[in-house]
Amino acid sequence: MAKRRLYATITGMAAILAMLAAGCGSSSNGGSGSAGSSTTGSAAPDSGGSGATQPGTSAAGGDSGAPTTVKIINWVNPPANDALKKINSQFEAKYPNIKVDYQLAANTTGSYATMLQTTVTSHSADIITTNFPFQPLPNNPTRDNMTPEQFWATSGLLEPLTDQPWIKNYTKDALASETYNGQIYGVLTGVYQWMVFYDKAVFAKYNLTAPRTYTDFVKVLDTLKQNGVTPLWLGTGGGADGYVQQFLTEPLMASIWLPKVQGGNLAKALETGAEKWDSPNFVDVMTKEAKIGSYLEPGYTGVSWQGMPGAFAAGKAAMLLDGSWDLASVQQANPKMDVGSFPLPGSDDPSLNKSLLSNDLTFEVLKDAPHKDAALKYLEFFSQPEIYQEYVNMTGISPSQNGGTYDSFAAKVLGDTFGKGTSTDIVFPVLSAKQGFYCQPANFPEVQVDVIAGKSSPADAAKKYQGSCTTS
């Protein structure tokens, strides 16, 4: 799974979109079987181009008796890969005339990005996987400021899933994030949650309970610090500057600022200019962020983000600011550790403090997929509650389907908040290199670091953002 939220640069996206635009409608084999890919199952040979078996001819799920192949591409993320390989085998057992050709590439920003681009251009797979939602679209969407996924959805390169009977198994929010012009183009397999994770043994030692308000949170932080315990752990070294924005700024924006926004969509309000970055609400967010940041481990900006779950499991801090994807690593490092969780509280109204939900792996079917019917049958199989439940339990992801009973370690740690919360999509707008210096993806978090360090006041930081962020 994605270790951290990725912010694509406009330069990189423009290059991909330019190549896609040039290749749309091409039937050449684009090289999706490039180095680093792997195949599971005894897949029948696939001709790879749009001239392969046409949708509806041999992909009736084994009903017609004609053998066929459904080709799926994905990046290397072990929990999902292990779960999907098992599900692929189950699918083949149910539909012996359909083989699954499951190909992998190294990572979302390297070889998989290349595989994805060439696959969409050449229509040489049936199901692709991505980890960016279609929504929210930029205020004035163009090829330059849309992600590749958004371009594909808005350009008719993906198959609408709106009328598939199994699509109703998914939550309203999950479907909304993958919808464009009333059509659903993706199946969101689940979300990860941004939370505060805590060591229950340490809390018990100092008679602490999980705080539900900002005031109570500060009291917990003070008690731990006074007893010589590092209250909070957050590693942003090694290229994870965005972790400050991800685990501090955005949750506080959600609990402090979002509830006061007309229409309930802060991201869109900031894009249109209805809300201003120098709002007193954002000053309040950063004031509280600076206070909370003062309880982080010394030198957190030089501490590796990769070591965060191990440091927490080793008892270096009582609490960890992180995403639920790291819970499996915490459990592996310290199986006996009793872990609890709570949303980062920015408000003294407990009802406003909620977990943030971040979209992860999403399935999409190419409009000109060689074996579209088989692809749709595969998604129907995956979407069965019992199969989907298996996927959630194996990956530790939070569910994007309605209902279900789950027993993963993450489900136990997250408790009543499992799968519940506020989507990041309505909290924080899309940043791009088209905007001013401080409103660019690489630079926005650095201002937050300066606020925590006392190098910039919250009011001055708000003015910097307002001067850089545009409505274009």
Give the residue-averaged pLDDT of 227-252. Answer: 95
Q: Are residues 186 and 94 in the same domain?
A: yes
Q: How far apart are CA 148 and CA 151, in angstroms?
A: 5
Report yes or no on 384 lying in a domain: yes
Number of domains in the chain: 2
Give the residue-averaged pLDDT of 72-89. Answer: 93
Parent domain of 367: 10-190+360-397
Q: Are residues 78 and 124 in the same domain?
A: yes
Q: Are residues 341 and 390 in the same domain?
A: no
Q: Are residues 144 and 275 in the same domain?
A: no
- Per-residue confidence at 65, pLDDT binned at 50, 70, 90? low
Q: How far apart are CA 297 and CA 403, in angstroms?
A: 39
Give the residue-averaged pLDDT of 163-192. Answer: 93
Q: Are residues 305 and 447 in the same domain?
A: yes
Report yes or no on 99 lying in a domain: yes
CATH number at residue 158: 3.40.190.10
Q: Of 131, 13, 151, whose CA–CA distance to 433 is shortest?
A: 13
Q: Are residues 129 and 222 in the same domain?
A: no
- Per-residue confidence at 21, pLDDT binned at 50, 70, 90? very low
> First and final CA of the chain: distance in angstroms?
32
List Cα–Cα distances, 91 to 67, 96, 123, in angstroms.
14, 8, 23
Question: Which range is least confidently modeled, 108-112, 150-154, 248-252, 297-301?
Answer: 108-112
Q: Are residues 163 and 36 in the same domain?
A: yes
**Residue that wins the pLDDT comparison between 3 and 221:** 221
**The predicted structure's pLDDT at residue 20:** 40
**Full DSSP string of 272-292:** HTSS-TT-HHHHHHHHHHHHH
Q: Are residues 331 and 382 in the same domain?
A: no
Compute the half-sphere exposure of residue 322: CA atoms within 13 Å on the CB side of its CA: 34
Q: How many residues does the chain have?
A: 472
358 phi and psi angles, rounded to 5 deg:
-120, 125
Dihedral angle, C-alpha 18, 103, 186, 58, nearest 10 ° = 110
Report yes or no on 214 lying in a domain: yes
Is the pLDDT at 281 greater than 70, yes or no?
yes
Number of neighbours of residue 403 by Cβ within 10 angstroms: 9
**Full DSSP string of 404-462:** ----SHHHHHHGGGTT-SEEGGGTSPPP-TTS-GGGSTTTHHHHHHHHHHTSS-HHHHH
Tokens of 113: 């990005």
Question: Which range is least confidently modeled, 44-53, 312-321, 327-336, 427-436?
Answer: 44-53
Report yes or no on 414 lying in a domain: no
- Per-residue confidence at 66, pLDDT binned at 50, 70, 90? confident
105 beta partners:
75
Q: Are residues 165 and 42 in the same domain?
A: yes
Q: How far apart are CA 422 and CA 354, in angstroms?
A: 6
**Full DSSP string of 296-352:** BPTTGGGSBGGGHHHHHHTTS-SEEEEEGGGHHHHHHH-TT--EEEEPPP-SSSGGG
Report yes or no on 389 lying in a domain: yes
Bond preceding residue 136 cis, omega within 30 of 0: yes
Q: Are residues 185 and 271 in the same domain?
A: no
Report yes or no on 88 lying in a domain: yes
Report yes or no on 412 lying in a domain: no
Q: How far apart are CA 444 and CA 438, in angstroms?
A: 5
- In this structure, are residues 77 and 4 in contact, taking their beta carbons and an 8 Å threshold? no
444 phi and psi angles, rounded to 5 deg:
-55, -50
Report yes or no on 271 lying in a domain: yes
Is the pLDDT at 367 greater than 80, yes or no?
yes
**The predicted structure's pLDDT at residue 471:** 55
Q: Are residues 19 and 127 in the same domain?
A: yes
Q: Are residues 243 and 145 in the same domain?
A: no
**The predicted structure's pLDDT at residue 6:** 39
